[in-house]
Amino acid sequence: MATEILAEITGMLVEIVGDEYLLAEEVTMKTTFNEDLALESIEFVALAELLHHRYGAGVDLMGFLAEKDMDAILAMSVGELVTHIGRITHTSLARTAAGTPAASAG
């Protein structure tokens, strides 16, 4: 599941910053948004939108970032986001399997 999420996030990043930039830098779980990708705040907003469209309101990037201090945000890796999405989507799938609508999770 993590490999699929990483591939989807990489695709979103290509859409946001352009493939010519990311071709020079392989996106891995250890890739950082700030130092490695140099993502600007507007690009984080674009990523948040794409994540929302793909995974629903449960994957709230801005809410996830709000729980971190500035140093943690600057050091955040793609892997942390992949883990967060995996945890949220896994919980949502478990609720759906148990017969609880995912929409009421939130």
Q: Could you give the CA distance from residue 94 to residue 22 in angstroms, rounded to a whole number?
A: 34
pLDDT by residue (tens digit) across 26-78?
889 999 999 988 889 899 999 999 999 999 988 999 999 999 999 999 999 99
| Residue 22 confidence (pLDDT) above 70 | no
**Binning pLDDT at 50, 70 and 90, where does residue 95 land?**
low
**Residue 104, pLDDT score:** 46
pLDDT of 12 above 90: yes
pLDDT, residue 87, reads 92
DSSP-derived 3-state class of residue 82: helix
Residue 17 is predicted with a pLDDT of 87
93 conformational bin, left if phi > 0, alpha if psi -120 to 50, beta if neither: alpha
